[in-house]
Amino acid sequence: MRRIVLDTETTGLDPALGHRVIEIGAVEMVDRRPTGRTYHVYLNPEREVDPGAQAVHGLSNEFLADKPRFAEQVDAFLAFVDAAELIIHNAPFDLGFLNAELGRLERGVLSACTQGVVDTLKMARQLHPGQKNNLDALCRRYGVDNSGREYHGALLDSELLAEVWLAMTRGQETLAIDPVIMAPQAFKLTGVSDIKLRVIEPDPSELEAHENYLKALSKESKKELPAW
């Protein structure tokens, strides 16, 4: 199966407010193995980057000024993700921005040319409820080296997410783990009826000592105790 691990960086948090995609990074995997093929592009968003967003990814207006527009890269991007399953951390965020970019060009939505989306944030919340599940936290949890991640970067984050996803799904293809149902006879112990247990009877002196102990206890508590 062909999968594309994908990430974006943007000018801000909400495409409905006119924020744009400024970086796309994607890594190809086939049958759970990275192929070495990647897609990476910086984009001129035709608007300014919010200072808060720049603090996260480090991409400035000056750096992006001479980069291509999304319209110039859309065909190459769609060709790379075509007919693949997408793996995205916090998928609604990236899909919202990419679909907004496609909508401006009247190119439909991303789901029209792909084979579904796996949201690794949703998976992580199911696997690790109540814990931090951002990419840095998952890298630490699964032993993925993210020491080179000074800023968020679409291609680097896609490469890290590919390793995290492989670790999260090792031994299974989905989170739907079928319960193992064993036949009743699988729990039946064999040979128990053949075991002869040795019964040790108390001798008269032990019975007498026990009886005296009960009498003393009854006297001390001022209650008559049963003769066990």
Catalytic residues: 152
Q: Which of 26, 2, 8, 165 is nearest to 95 (CA)?
A: 8
Residue 60 C-beta-side C-alpha neighbours within 13 Å: 2
Sheet holding 21-30, edge to edge: 33-42, 21-30, 2-10, 85-88, 117-119
29 has which bridge partners? 3, 34
The Cα–Cα gap between 135 and 121 comes to 9
**Cβ distance 23 to 42 under 8 Å?**
yes
